[in-house]
Amino acid sequence: MTDIIRTHYINQLDESIIDQNVKIGGWVEDLRDIGSLLFLTVRDVSGTAQIIVNEPKMLESTKKITRQSAVMIIGNVQKSKSKAFNVEIKAEHIEVITNAVHPLPVDPTGRVNASIDVRLGVRALDLRNPRVLALFRIRHEALQSIRKTLVIHNFIEVNTPKIIGSASEGGANLFSLEYFGKKAYLAQSPQLYKEQLTMSLDRVFEIASYYRAEKFHTVRHLNEFISIDIEGAFMDTEDVIQVAEQIVRNVLIDIKEKCVNELKQITAEIIIPSLPFERLTYSQVLDEINSHDIKLEFGEDLPDHALRIVGEKHKGYYFIKDWPSKLKPFYIHEKNDNPELSDSFDLQHGYLELASGGKRHYNTNKLKTRLIEQGLNPDDFKDHLKVFEWGMLPHSGWGIGFDRLLMVICNTSNIREVVLYPRDAERLNP
Ligand code: AMO
């Protein structure tokens, strides 16, 4: 059996180990045959190495290795004459672990372009493209950074069920499934659970997948997406807005520091925004929109083309606060000085909505009234409403669309670029 333990990652090969014997593992990216000499470019997760083959007995078999095949190479580290590499490996033994069968569906070196649709169909191979890999390294760092900031603010991480017995927020956009003879749904948000948990755990956060059963045809919607949700007792809207700002700023700082090479790969530049982010109100935004050739009445939702106008003027991150109560879900509290307005906000980047949240109702009767006003039946929420009679605490929170935040950080125009296996109306595989 092949010993598959390597001695080094490729980025650990440097001049300090010249003349040492090493064993690396990876896949063949390129193979150049110049007669009595073969140059192999081998990649692993950390980078690329140049391998020289000049042993006559190895030349013939090595020439037959197909690009992208998995190999293990034993050899001696030596100084390289190439401009691209400081050191190279003079091969003593090359073992093909598995063969890549050609033709391959995409070229993961990125030299031959493929459409996103084709690439998503063969995502595992697409991820060998350094540019694509960089996006998911950035994604990983972003998650670490967000967890770190939330823990600093005393939020604890929770996991709530994704198979649920009734709609979490009302509305029709739920996937349903059969659950041992009963009807169940896939959670569209952790909203009700996270609110309930504040009465004991005080500050909670969850990072998980949620499901929306709408046939979206946009570059910013998926049917399964990751939301970062927080909920905190004795916090008001401004408190949770500040947590959101700090998360966004810290993510940008951390990525700028930790993902220098990845940012270079994707040619993205990070500019650290200063705090606080601009706070606009719904009414201000409406005035800005109506000063163009669009006429929107107070109480109307802001459509895409209207938000693009706002995004043109307010280019970075900003909040839109004080939305009309009727546009917000039943659980959102109204403003104390004006019940027409809700104590709520959206976080925007340009035209793109990144998050929404606000202060919540914590009084059962008010919640019941709001449910009825929104055409929902309080009986469908009786388990949830019960909790509010056990000493519920005042609380606020938000949900950030994590995939959308990554679109902004990585400067990609399609959400599918930053999601490993996106689910949309057309795509259920792989
Ligand atoms: P909302 O429905 O606005 O709020 O969702 C919160 C954020 O999640 C992201 N998002 C999506 N991302 C990709 N594809 C989708 N289909 C999709 N739908 C939503 C957006 C959005 O801003 N319970 C509330 C949050 C709260 O009040 O705490 C909620 O779910 O970035």
User: Helices in 266-412 by DSSP H: which ranges?
Assistant: 282-290, 304-313, 364-373, 382-387, 402-410
Backbone angles phi, psi at 6, to 5 degrees: -95, 155
Task: Report the alpha-carbon distance of residue 413 to residue 267 in Å, rounded.
Answer: 14
Give 227 Cα–ligand 1 centroid separation in angstroms: 7
> What would the two tokens of residue 32 be?
């150049």
* Best residue among 226, 231, 321, 356 to mutate for probing ligand 1, ranked by most atoms within 8 Å of CB: 356
Residue ranges, CATH 3.30.930.10, the chain: 124-418
CB 71 within 8 A of CB 65: yes
Residue ranges, CATH 2.40.50.140, the chain: 10-98
- Identify the residue whose tokens are 């940012």: 263
- Identify the residue whose tokens are 């070196």: 109
Upstream peptide bond of 103 is cis (omega within 30 degrees of 0): yes
Residue 38: beta bridge partners? 33, 53
Low-confidence residues of the chain: pLDDT under 50: none
CB 208 within 8 A of CB 202: no
The confidence score (pLDDT) of residue 222 equals: 98
Q: Whose CA is nearest to atom 25 of ligand 1?
A: 399
Domain 10-98 class in CATH: mainly beta
DSSP states along 208-249 = EEEE------SSS--SEEEEEEEEEET--HHHHHHHHHHHHH
* Contact residues of ligand 1, CB 6 A cut-off: 169, 189, 191, 212, 216, 221-222, 225, 227, 229, 353-357, 397-399, 401, 403-404
The pairing of beta strand 87-98 with beta strand 38-44: unpaired
Residue 198: beta bridge partners? none
- Identify the residue whose tokens are 């006003």: 373
The confidence score (pLDDT) of residue 318 equals: 98
User: Helices in 314-410 by DSSP H: which ranges?
Assistant: 364-373, 382-387, 402-410
CB 233 within 8 A of CB 203: yes
Backbone angles phi, psi at 279, to 5 degrees: -115, 115
The confidence score (pLDDT) of residue 3 equals: 87
For residue 400, the ligand 1 atom closest to its alpha carbon is 7
Task: Report the alpha-carbon distance of residue 396 to residue 400 in Å, rounded.
Answer: 14
The confidence score (pLDDT) of residue 110 equals: 87
- CATH 3.10.129.10 applies to domain 124-418: no
DSSP states along 100-157 = PPSSPSS-TTSSS---HHHHHHTHHHHTTSHHHHHHHHHHHHHHHHHHHHHHHTT-EE
Task: Report the alpha-carbon distance of residue 41 to residue 69 in Å, rounded.
Answer: 12
Task: Report the alpha-carbon distance of residue 422 to residue 407 in Å, rounded.
Answer: 14
Give 276 Cα–ligand 1 centroid separation in angstroms: 22
SS3 340: strand
* Best residue among 216, 225, 323, 361 to mutate for probing ligand 1, ranked by most atoms within 8 Å of CB: 225
Q: What is the CA radius of gyration of the chain?
A: 27
The confidence score (pLDDT) of residue 166 equals: 81
pLDDT digits (tens, 9 = 90+) for 259-287: 999 999 999 999 999 999 999 999 999 99
* Best residue among 168, 404, 409, 423 to mutate for probing ligand 1, ranked by most atoms within 8 Å of CB: 404
Task: Report the alpha-carbon distance of residue 299 to residue 269 in Å, rounded.
Answer: 38
The confidence score (pLDDT) of residue 2 equals: 67
Task: Report the alpha-carbon distance of residue 31 to residue 91 in Å, rounded.
Answer: 14
Task: Report the alpha-carbon distance of residue 211 to residue 217 in Å, rounded.
Answer: 15
- The sign of the CA dihedral 33, 34, 35, 37 is negative
pLDDT digits (tens, 9 = 90+) for 329-372: 999 999 999 999 999 999 999 999 999 999 999 999 999 999 99
Q: Whose CA is nearest to atom 28 of ligand 1?
A: 398
> What would the two tokens of residue 336 be?
């104390």
Task: Report the alpha-carbon distance of residue 343 to residue 237 in Å, rounded.
Answer: 7
